[in-house]
Structure 1
Amino acid sequence: MFYTGLGIITPRIMRTWQAYAKDRRGLAAVEFAMVAAPFFLLIFGLLEICVLFVVSTIMEHAVAEASRQIRTGQAQENGFNEQNFRTSVCDRFMGILDCDAKLHIDVKALNGFSAANIDMPLDEDGEFDADGFGYDPGGPNDIVAVRIFYEWSLMTPVMSAPLANMAGSKFLVQANAVFRNEPFGD
């Protein structure tokens, strides 16, 4: 009987392959490796949305509390300027947000409630456009719109790409308050 080298090796390779295929050790590690990346991206994306919700809530609270000084006339009577109002807003961020160039504030006295502009101030390239921003707290019985914006850098750019509304994988968080000033100073 004549055996070639190929004839003897082939059954040996087949037995080795069958033994390897039946071996279940490490199967959980392989399955986890296949599922880990999408799982962690999903978890981090969910955390990103939760953090954005917290940031938005903090900003809404800061706007409501800081604009109360305008609504009651305290800001006007104490000679508040834009920097004083900015400090008042920043004091209510509880150390979570920085009060640097990422924070933009717009305070305007309006002719009526329907004149309030709550649109996102973004140009066609997705960059922030602060044209027309200023600080005018109005007088007694004036209608005032307070808007603050914060440029939040997204942590998970791949998972949160649909959230980005600015260039550079950023999300512009906005908080507004529109109110009529009280009849102060009488």
Structure 2
Amino acid sequence: MNIPCFGLLSPRLKAKWRSYASDHRGLAAVEFAMVAVPFFFLIFGLLEVCIIFIVSTVLEHAVSEASRQIRTGQAQESGFNEQNFRQTVCDKLLDMIDCDAKLYIDVKALNGFSETAIDLPIDGSGNFDDTGFDYKPGGPNDIVAVRVFYEWHLLTPIISAPLANLAGSRRLLQANAVFRNEPFGD
């Protein structure tokens, strides 16, 4: 081992340095410390993506099941309002999502399928904007768009910052259902 200015050290320091340099105890701990940060970064990021995927899938299923009552006319004939629809969605969420103020529902009857809103309701500062949301399930043969949004707080905000699409380390999850109501009430 050639170290600059090694020749300037006393023989006793040279011997001490050689014994220190040839000692391999703790090498595995040092190597693990070098690899641990990227490894855990990758693991926690992967877990966050998996959780978001699972919650999104459960939300999609809940919206699909709850929308069936609008599509068949059961909701209209039994006088469902937004709170009843919200409760129906929440009952299907398997307690994975708290049905609190972070769950937003928009149900609108449309004139055609091309009127379906596909953009995310996020304002310029990265906050959710629910202006214009309503609950109008329409009548028989109407085209209806059901959009449900949920503000998911990221579990690992620093690691999963690229996943955030809202300000404050939050991700906006969205589930949609667009359909033509059945000819109910006849």
- TM-score surpassing 0.5? yes
Aligned-CA RMSD value: 1.3
What TM-score, normalized to structure 1? 0.94
What does the per-residue CA deviation read over 1:121-168, in whole Å, with 9 as the maximum and x for residues that have no partner? 000001000010010000000000000001011122222111110000
Distance 1:151 1:101 in 2: 9
Q: Which residue of 1 aligns with 2:133?
A: 133
Distance 1:99 1:90 in 2: 6
Once the two structures are TM-superposed, the CA of residue 119 in structure 1 deviates from its matched residue by 1.1
What does the per-residue CA deviation read over 1:32-61, in whole Å, with 9 as the maximum and x for residues that have no partner? 011111110110000000001001100110
Residues 157-176 of structure 1: pairs in structure 2 closer than 5 A: 157-176=157-176
Residues 30-45 of structure 1: pairs in structure 2 closer than 5 A: 30-45=30-45
Paired letter, 1:118:
I
Q: Which residue of 2 aligns with 1:105?
A: 105
Distance 2:116 2:106 in 1: 12
Once the two structures are TM-superposed, the CA of residue 78 in structure 1 deviates from its matched residue by 0.3
Paired letter, 1:176:
N
Paired letter, 1:74:
Q
What TM-score, normalized to structure 2? 0.94
* Maintained 8 Å contact 1:151/1:173: yes
Q: Which residue of 2 aligns with 1:83?
A: 83
Distance 1:11 1:155 in 2: 56
Ranges in structure 1 where 5+ consecutive residues have no aligned partner: 1-6
* Maintained 8 Å contact 1:118/1:176: no
Detail structure 1 runs of 4+ shifted over 4 Å in the superposition.
none
Paired letter, 1:37:
V
Ranges in structure 2 where 5+ consecutive residues have no aligned partner: 1-6
Distance 1:149 1:31 in 2: 44
